[in-house]
Structure 1
Amino acid sequence: MDQQDVESGYASATDSSPSSSVASLPRITLTKAHLDHLNAQFENMEAMDILRVCKVMFPNLYQSTAFGLTGLVTLDMLSKLQTESPTSSPVDLIFLDTLYHFQETHDLVARTQARYPNVRLHIYKPYGVSTTEEFAARYGEKLYETESELYDWTAKVEPLQRAYEELKVAAVLTGRRRSQGGSRDKMPIVEVDGERGVIKINPLARWTFQQVREYVAQHDVPYNALLDRGYKSVGDWHSTSPVAEGEDERAGRWKGQQKTECGIHNKKSRYAQYLQELAQKEKLAAAAEALNVVQQSETVSAA
């Protein structure tokens, strides 16, 4: 199914393209009318109720999280729902360890596991490596500076697609919110990621940063110590900085770059676009070389 089909009325959570690494995922199909109906209903529902419905409605439901504040709120809500209905299917976590997270983030992961011991955590790292040193040796020193698109693909996009394939993920909960700005300001609560073959659900899409912080304080949810040092959105240490008063919540991510996403949440990852452009350049170069060979042959023949 191509992207036009997804946008025009028939949305499937299985990408049938031969290049997809998630072609074996369980199939969830939503017509555009069904998708619109779900989003219209979810707009008037509390986040906890959205999660209740999603747990019943979507098979092979997971939560993808970098242990940001919104994801932690979602995790806490899911924990409460599991207590309400202990026989229901639990929602496992997927965490992408890029190998460049802050130590504070790793500390938070440990504290979260201690707080929610019944939640299963699946950790995925860049292919074939387990340490920063191994990453640099295999993929290049400071790849995040020299080839940022390749870095995003290697450290984030490919591991996530591998997780989706190995875990047979059909639907995934995210911690994205409209108030984070950028391309997120108009996102629906439920959407189809046709490139990766999953249904993507943003249960706290309507929440503000203040609402998230209030929930964390009220329910004593563990959070990243960096938030108390001026960070509002925490990613890799090499591309995350504190946020100044009055700046957008995600202003500290990739500061000074024309970039707001790492490729995971784009409709089509920037690295995929980069590969297309590279392939096109290679075709043009090959055509130019072939023309040059023909011209040289004609010159020799004329002589």
Structure 2
Amino acid sequence: MEFRKMGSSPVYKLEEDGHDYESGYASGSSSNAELPEIYFTKPHLAFLNRQFQNLEPQEILQWCLTSLPGLYQETAFGFTGLTSLDMLSKMKTPRPQTVDLLFFDTLHHFPETHDLINRIRDRYPLVNIHIYKPAGADSEEEFARQHGERLWETNDELYDWLAKVEPAQRAYKELKVGAVLTGRRRSQGGQRGDIPVIEIDEAGLVKVNPFANWSFKQVNEYIKANDVPYNELLDRGYKSVGDWHSTKPVEEGEDERAGRWQGQQKTECGIHNPRSKFAQFLKEQEMKKQSAALHQALESEEEAKITS
């Protein structure tokens, strides 16, 4: 099995074909050779995850800064992402600013979330925030005109693709993203219950979950102890904040993400789902489109025969 990120972006490969590749930079035959690919063997990933189990998030973040080119942080400005941002801002690094942030604005976020972004810019003036929106839309109203009202109810897979997955893939390509930091934790439950600290997706993107071992209590305590700005909704019973239409406060004792997509059989928005799932979805959508066009053409041909 081989994971490859194409183009001029950093390339990561997970080799399982029997070759004994070392993780790290492959040797080049010339000092002027093109930047070599980076290899991660399956045993080395397992080794890293065993080591990371015993490290604090700050230590994992430091490893990321020195080991992963093309590193960005994906965030919706939840407690964990804000904790990561604050930790990175306090690290002594040769770069003049912290890791750039990626925020995927679905156009359906709470006003409180956008207010928080402004406060983050004030608190961390050196951080760059790259905001990606659905293609061709700059507002919730524009999105509805293009794709119909309440698309998340009529076709949630299409909504995920348009509002989150496609903007993410566009960002990876345009910014030459090779690795991302996420705020996922095992204590959040659902599909996150057994995530490793470091993983590689189907396209070769390295995903690091520095806080995989932390609980909500730990990130909450860090936020309060370090006076980190946070979303006001978290003081109103919310523990995980996403789109306004799919986020509710949670009850005492409920899972942290119980307020997301209530009544639906899903725990992820799509960004962290396998990309092949959405490739298959797009294929099915295209087949439906072609089928509808063929049906319409046949109906028009039949009507022409009747009227002639």
Bin the TM-score by the shorter chain.
0.7 to 0.9
TM-fit CA distance, 1:148: 0.8
Could you tell me which residue of structure 2 aligns to residue 74 of structure 1?
84
Query: Residues 131-166 of structure 1: CA distance to partner in whole angstroms, max 9, x if unpaired?
Result: 111111112211111111101000000000000000
TM-fit CA distance, 1:274: 2.8
Could you tell me which residue of structure 2 aligns to residue 297 of structure 1?
none
Residue of 168, 183, 188 corresponding to 1:160: 168
Could you tell me which residue of structure 1 aligns to residue 93 of structure 2?
85
TM-fit CA distance, 1:65: 0.4
TM-fit CA distance, 1:194: 1.5
Residue of 142, 147, 153 corresponding to 1:145: 153
The answer to which structure has the higher helix fraction is 1
Amino acid at match of 1:43: Q
Find out whether 1:185 has 2:193 as its counterpart: yes
Amino acid at match of 2:10: P
Could you tell me which residue of structure 2 aligns to residue 203 of structure 1?
210
TM-fit CA distance, 1:89: 6.9
Could you tell me which residue of structure 2 aligns to residue 170 of structure 1?
178
Find out whether 1:254 has 2:261 as its counterpart: yes
CA distance in 1, matches of 2:192, 2:246: 19
TM-fit CA distance, 1:278: 5.1
The 1:13–1:65 alpha-carbon spacing in structure 2 relative to 1, beyond 3 Å, is: farther
- Structure 2, unaligned stretches of length 5 or more? 13-38, 296-308
TM-score, normalised with respect to structure 2: 0.82
Q: How does 1:43-122 map to 2 (within 5 A)?
A: 43-81=53-91, 84-87=92-95, 90-122=98-130
TM-fit CA distance, 1:33: 1.5
- 3-state secondary structure, aligned to 1:257: coil
Q: How many residues align?
A: 267
Query: Residues 103-139 of structure 1: CA distance to partner in whole angstroms, max 9, x if unpaired?
Result: 0000111111110000011000000111111111112
CA distance in 2, matches of 1:193, 1:87: 27
Query: Residues 87-112 of structure 1: CA distance to partner in whole angstroms, max 9, x if unpaired?
Result: 47741000001100000000111111
- 3-state secondary structure, aligned to 1:217: helix
- 8 Å CA contact 1:173–1:201 kept in 2: the answer is yes
CA distance in 1, matches of 2:250, 2:66: 38
Query: Residues 260-284 of structure 1: CA distance to partner in whole angstroms, max 9, x if unpaired?
Result: 111100124654343345567799x
- 8 Å CA contact 1:39–1:190 kept in 2: the answer is yes
Tell me: higher relative CO, structure 1 or 2? Use CA pairs within 8 A at least 6 residues apart: 1
- Structure 1, unaligned stretches of length 5 or more? 17-22, 290-303
- 8 Å CA contact 1:149–1:270 kept in 2: the answer is no
TM-score, normalised with respect to structure 1: 0.83
Could you tell me which residue of structure 2 aligns to residue 25 of structure 1?
9
For the aligned residues, what is the CA RMSD? 2.1
